[in-house]
């Protein structure tokens, strides 16, 4: 008997029919003799509806109260799924984040999990119940409702799996695994049987929508065995999905490049002609961070004649805000010649653990783009990733050409 944590996202619980389908799937795994903890999101559209109501009342709703409103979405789903399970004769019991209790800090709308009490869940599991937990939410030390931020249900599931020492954490999505890239753009994209945590981390942070980055980090930290599966397959005969492995695992495919990730959600900002002195990056990016704007890529070239250019990317939704912050701070926190921005960009990344031991991959990437006359605006690299920023209109073309250039349609030998 294993202990399995399963997570179902908003689409998987988007209607009462879909919820029944989830209940059947849970029943299948329980029928195999496993203990099952199910983590669910709000029904699809529900979180947006709730946040929309709040936005009708205030352009900048109080974060504590926003969490009170948003957390109800998952609370509805846990009750409904428990009802569906019991209707099928499967004993079930729901838990809100506060009931578990999932203790978080007090950073409303983007709280971090500090601790999980597994006592009540364990009692229920030992009594033969399926335990149904609201994802995305917790409580702080004084009992305020908190949410983990959008997509946080993945993180909830992994954190629960870690706290319970689960044998596997299954993330059910609308795809049957992790692909070499988005099959809607490249029909030849191939499902990976396994992928390393490090690669998954890069793929997730680069915009592969399958898993939330924090969930992957969490899973890596606590060595939670994570599997991505489809919630649309026959509940009685699920496919293998994609298992996320640790680098040192023997099962690793050892592909050089695992996949092509991309992201259309960013905007690029260029601060030109700043003084090339220590502290200038902080002078520019400090106010951005203080305004709670997340920065992704940061590129700074060595400047000539005491001046340099700094460019970075932010989420497209925060582009305006970031530009306003810079205009306000210009002449105060820092001096510069010009500030320019572009929100019609896309980021494309080549990700692979084999990059560490293989050379010439960047050149191969740049050549593939050059062959299509796609201009590279920014380049940033990590140990297992090369990311470039290009004009948004070339995104699909770039992804297709890179997928071909790295032979990703073929399984590794």
The nearer residue to its own copies, 13 or 274, going by C-beta atoms, is 13
Structural contact between residues 41 and 212, judged by C-beta atoms closer than 8 angstroms:
no
Helix axis angle, 72-87 to 46-57, nearest 10° = 150
**Helix, strand, or coil here: 331?**
coil
Q: How far is the CB of 35 from its own copies (least distance, A)?
A: 20
The nearer residue to its own copies, 58 or 188, going by C-beta atoms, is 58
Question: How far apart are alpha carbons 73 and 354 in whole angstroms?
Answer: 41
Q: Which region, judged by CB under 8 A, interacts with its own copies, from 64-72, 163-171, 194-202, 367-375?
A: 64-72
Q: How far is the CB of 104 from its own copies (least distance, A)?
A: 15
Among 103, 125, 131, 145, binds its own copies (CB under 8 A): 145
Q: How far is the CB of 145 from its own copies (least distance, A)?
A: 8
Of 20, 146, 162, 177, nearest in space to 74 by CA: 146
Q: Which region, judged by CB under 8 A, interacts with its own copies, from 137-145, 200-208, 293-301, 349-357?
A: 137-145
Q: How far is the CB of 14 from its own copies (least distance, A)?
A: 12
Q: Does 64 bind its own copies (CB under 8 A)?
A: yes
Q: Does 153 bind its own copies (CB under 8 A)?
A: no
**Helix, strand, or coil here: 387?**
strand
Question: How far apart are alpha carbons 299 and 149 in whole angstroms?
Answer: 27
Q: Where are the beta strands (DSSP E) in 126-241?
A: 130-134, 137-139, 145-147, 168-173, 194-196, 226-230
For the sheet with 345-351, list strands across it: 259-263, 345-351, 385-391, 378-382
Among 7, 25, 93, 400, binds its own copies (CB under 8 A): 93
In the stretch 159-198, what mask flags binding to its own copies with x, by CB under 8 A?
----------------------------------------
Q: Does 230 bind its own copies (CB under 8 A)?
A: no
Of 279, 220, 247, nearest in space to 352 by CA: 247
Q: What's 243's DSSP letter?
A: E
Q: Does 374 bind its own copies (CB under 8 A)?
A: no
Question: How far apart are alpha carbons 105 and 109 in whole angstroms?
Answer: 11
Of 387, 390, 413, 393, nearest in space to 259 by CA: 387
**H or E stretch including 214?**
helix 213-222
Q: How far is the CB of 54 from its own copies (least distance, A)?
A: 6
Q: How far is the CB of 41 from its own copies (least distance, A)?
A: 14
Among 2, 32, 45, 57, binds its own copies (CB under 8 A): 57
Q: Does 72 bind its own copies (CB under 8 A)?
A: yes
In the complex, the residues that contact its own copies under the rule CB under 8 A are: 16, 19-20, 50, 53-54, 56-58, 61-62, 64-69, 71-73, 75-76, 78-80, 82-84, 86-87, 92-94, 96, 98-99, 143-145
């Amino acid at each position: 008997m294993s202990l399995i944590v399963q997570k179902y996202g908003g689409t998987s619980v988007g209607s009462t029919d879909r919820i029944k389908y989830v209940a059947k799937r849970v029943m299948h795994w329980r029928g195999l003799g496993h203990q099952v903890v199910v983590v669910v999101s709000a029904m699809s559209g529900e979180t947006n509806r709730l946040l929309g109501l709040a936005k009708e009342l205030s352009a900048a709703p109080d974060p504590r109260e926003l969490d009170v409103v948003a957390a109800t979405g998952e609370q509805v789903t846990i009750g409904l799924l428990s009802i569906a399970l019991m209707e099928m004769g499967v004993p079930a019991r729901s838990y809100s984040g506060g009931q578990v209790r999932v203790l978080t800090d007090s950073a409303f709308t983007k709280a971090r999990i500090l601790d999980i009490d597994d006592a009540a869940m364990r009692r229920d599991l030992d009594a033969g119940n399926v335990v149904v937990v609201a994802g995305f939410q917790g409580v702080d030390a004084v009992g305020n409702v908190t949410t983990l931020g959008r997509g946080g249900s993945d993180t909830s599931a992994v954190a629960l799996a870690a706290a319970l020492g689960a044998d596997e954490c299954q993330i059910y999505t609308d795809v049957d695994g992790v692909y070499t890239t988005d099959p809607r753009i490249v029909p030849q994209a191939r499902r990976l049987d396994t992928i390393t945590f490090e690669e998954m981390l890069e793929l997730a942070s680069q915009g592969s929508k399958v898993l939330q980055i924090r969930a992957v980090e969490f899973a890596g930290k606590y060595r939670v065995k994570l599997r991505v599966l489809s919630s649309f397959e026959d509940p009685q005969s699920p496919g293998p999905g994609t298992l996320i492995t640790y680098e040192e695992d023997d099962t690793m495919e050892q592909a050089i490049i695992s996949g092509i990730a991309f992201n259309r959600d960013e905007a690029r900002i260029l601060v030109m002609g700043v003084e090339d002195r220590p502290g200038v990056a902080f002078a520019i990016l400090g106010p951005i961070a203080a305004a709670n704007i997340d920065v992704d890529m940061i590129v700074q070239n060595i400047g000539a004649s005491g001046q340099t250019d700094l460019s970075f990317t932010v989420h497209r939704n925060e582009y305006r805000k970031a530009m306003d912050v810079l205009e306000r701070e210009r002449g105060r926190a820092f001096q510069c010649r010009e500030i320019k921005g572009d929100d019609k960009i896309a980021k494309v990344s080549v990700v692979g653990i084999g990059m560490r031991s293989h050379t010439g991959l960047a050149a191969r990437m740049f050549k593939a783009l050059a062959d299509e006359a796609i201009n590279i605006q920014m380049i940033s690299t990590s140990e297992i990733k090369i990311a470039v920023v290009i004009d948004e209109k070339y995104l699909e073309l770039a992804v297709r050409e890179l997928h071909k250039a790295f032979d990703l349609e073929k399984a590794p030998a």
